[in-house]
Structure 1
Amino acid sequence: MTTREWLDECTDLLLRTVDGLSDGDFDAPSALPGWTRRHLVAHVHYNAEALRRLVGWANTGIENRMYASTEQRNAEIEEGSRLPVATLRELVHGSARALAEDLDSLPEQAWRNEVVTAQGRRVPASEIPWMRTREVAVHAVDLAAGVDFTDLPAGLLRALADDVLGKRFAAGHGPDLVRWLTGRSDTAPALGPWL
């Protein structure tokens, strides 16, 4: 499967999972510490909007960062978590559709244009579909509503593992991870905050 096929499949999985929640289920905790499902759905919506800004930047050449600041991003999620459930459902569906349309209409030459991620990395616009795929796939699981990593395509699981290992190695966790993965330690290493 291509990254775009993974993106479409995992977006559908996440949205079906959101649709399967009752209004009251939105107040339950997600799998992410300190976040309810409301927080998570708000985050997924605002992430789509942030990535749409990057697509626009790639298309026009006019810089448009994902977020003004970490504080702005966090405040946006917190405010979004207080919206009525019907509004959250509408927003997460609408922004997913709008992002897909933006990606479909991005001219071929614009995919090579560089944008800046929320972490400050300069990447070609061709990375945007993977950035969103990672979000919707992992957060479908994080909703803690019956979706598990076993529900994701095998190729996507491998790509996610490679991505996460790269980040963890870059953060200095390589020796501890290799020690554990090769069975030289019975205890998984403490890796710090979730990705």
Structure 2
Amino acid sequence: MAVTKEPTLSAETVREAIEAGQERLRALLPGLTEAAVRAPSALPGWSRAHVLAHIEGIARATARQARYALRGELVELYDGGRPERAAGIEAGAVRDAAALRDAVGAALDESAAAWAAVGPADWSRPVRYRDGDLRTVQWAWWRELEIHTADARLGLGPQDWSHGLCHHLLSHLAPRAPKDVHLVLAATDEAFRREYGATGAPEVTVRGHLTDLAAWLAGRDPHRALECRRSDRPAALPELLDWP
């Protein structure tokens, strides 16, 4: 897989990006009315309240991973696994706007406190989530926070994602690339190119702004249209595989 100009982000840089993302979301919460939380989100079948309930849940879950890791203990991301996660989202989504605002704000407070306690020597501490370490969870929380803030349609979208986050998504989501083609993603707003798959397969090249390439690979609607060519002819965008 060929890559050009992919930055390496330190844990401190990602922590600062998360703090900024949390504050952006927090600033949007006071404007949430009852009608607003019942409006559709960008995710099929989910209202804005569902997305906010999910952000609340994953904020608390990742914060808990950090707290337990600092004590040298392992704990599941969600008690009860995905069924309990889904049940928590459904239960949280029926709350009124004021309760949702308070719950999300409290979860962001809990997250901020948990990650502020992580020191430079702690990032390699093991966690249960994906049998990784605290960096694994930190990256996961950054992805969840930024992607689902965009899904909530509160005024911020994938076009507002930082280039650092986009580079991370284009790497993390590499398993979504189809296996039967040689996929090339080429940014038109910076010198960046990433290739996925076997070089002997038919080549499919997708060009566009970096944020739009990341949005597409993340399963979200690009802000601007992407150009796709297969064997140097115009083509439809290929079908992506499941999330890793």
TM-score (norm 1): 0.86
Match of 2:46 in 1: 35
**Mapped partners of 1:116, 1:146: distance in 2:** 34
User: Map of 1:34-183 to 2, 5 A cutoff?
Assistant: 34-67=45-78, 68-117=80-129, 121-164=130-173, 166-169=174-177, 173=179, 175=181, 177-178=183-184, 179-181=203-205, 183=229
Over 3 Å counting, the alpha-carbon distance change for 1:186 and 1:20 in structure 2 is: farther
Match of 2:199 in 1: none
The answer as to whether partners of 2:176 and 2:241 remain within 8 angstroms in 1 is no
**Mapped partners of 1:103, 1:54: distance in 2:** 10
In structure 1, list runs of 5 or more residues that go unmatched.
none
Which amino acid is the alignment partner of residue 152 of structure 1?
Answer: W
| TM-superposition CA deviations, 1:142-178 (whole Å, max 9, x none) | 11232122222222222222222x2314xx5472644
**How big is the shift at 1:73?**
0.6
- Greater Cα offset, 149-158 or 70-79: 149-158
Q: Which of 26, 29, 47 does residue 15 from structure 1 map onto? A: 26
**How big is the shift at 1:194?**
6.7
The answer as to whether partners of 2:50 and 2:90 remain within 8 angstroms in 1 is yes
**How big is the shift at 1:11?**
1.6
Calculate the aligned-residue CA RMSD, in Å: 2.2
**How big is the shift at 1:45?**
0.3
Report which structure shows greater RCO (CA 8 Å, sep ≥6): 1
Which amino acid is the alignment partner of residue 181 of structure 1?
Answer: T
In structure 2, list runs of 5 or more residues that go unmatched.
1-8, 185-202, 207-228
Over 3 Å counting, the alpha-carbon distance change for 1:158 and 1:16 in structure 2 is: same
Over 3 Å counting, the alpha-carbon distance change for 1:128 and 1:174 in structure 2 is: farther
Q: Compare CA radii of gyration and give the structure with the larger one.
A: 2
Instruction: Give the fraction of aligned pairs with identical amino acids, expressed as a percent.
Output: 29
Over 3 Å counting, the alpha-carbon distance change for 1:151 and 1:39 in structure 2 is: same
SS in 1 for 2:123: helix
Which amino acid is the alignment partner of residue 146 of structure 1?
Answer: G
Choose between structure 1 and 2: higher helix proportion.
1
The answer as to whether partners of 1:149 and 1:157 remain within 8 angstroms in 2 is no
Choose between structure 1 and 2: higher strand proportion.
2
**How big is the shift at 1:38?**
0.5
State the aligned residue count. 189
| TM-superposition CA deviations, 1:32-85 (whole Å, max 9, x none) | 111100000000001011112211221112221111211111001100111121
